[in-house]
Amino acid sequence: MRLWFAAVRPFALLLVVTVLGLGLGLLHGRKAAVPSISLGTLTEAPLVAVFALIPAIGIVMGVQRIPAQLLILSVRPIGLAAIVLVVAAFAVVFAGAMVTSSWHGALEITRNVVGLFGMAVLGRAVFAEAGQVLFPVAFLLLCFLFGRSLGELMPNTWAWALRDGTAVPAISQALVWGVLGLALVPRLPGLSLRHGS
């Protein structure tokens, strides 16, 4: 287990995502103008949706640092430790966001981090290292460009990253992505070896 702590540095990862959670809480409620092809005009999108990529991808990068040889030779289940670390990272993002934002803000921030984390892990598993960034970024671009329908106040259901923090369908979709990511976390080091990264 000492080798795992040395390779992953879980406390450093948790400290970084706590600070990022604090920062995201400060950004909650702020919006930026983005183009919307479906509306044919500029529309507002929450900054938290974009900046949630930073802790989501950071968690993936931190967890995938586990050497594959350590997974193979380990007597204890290192994959389970990685899953616990990811869940702890989600918890400290929520706690950090709660300090600088409201309950709804912390929920929205954590939802976006969890969902984008799952997408980043899936992207890493399928498309190698570049996929961990490209897959969630492509999803957010689709949300900005096509996530709103004419005459609708709320974003479309599939554009969960743009929805309010308490929207149950958005939370459900993000949780599905997060659970999928958690299921793949123990396999990340092996996938890195396969992709040669």
What separation in angstroms does the CA of 28 have from each of 22, 123, 133, 172, 184? Answer: 10, 26, 22, 21, 30
| Tokens representing residue 193 in the block | 């070896």
Per residue of the chain (197 residues), what is the pLDDT tens digit? 676 677 778 888 889 999 999 999 999 989 999 888 888 888 888 999 999 999 999 999 888 776 666 666 665 667 788 899 999 999 999 999 999 988 999 999 999 999 999 999 999 988 888 889 999 999 999 999 998 887 776 888 999 999 988 899 999 999 999 999 999 988 776 665 565 55
Give residue limits of the domains in the chain.
2-195
- CA 151, 50, 166: angle at the middle one, nearest 5? 60
User: Does the model's pTM come out above 0.85?
Assistant: yes
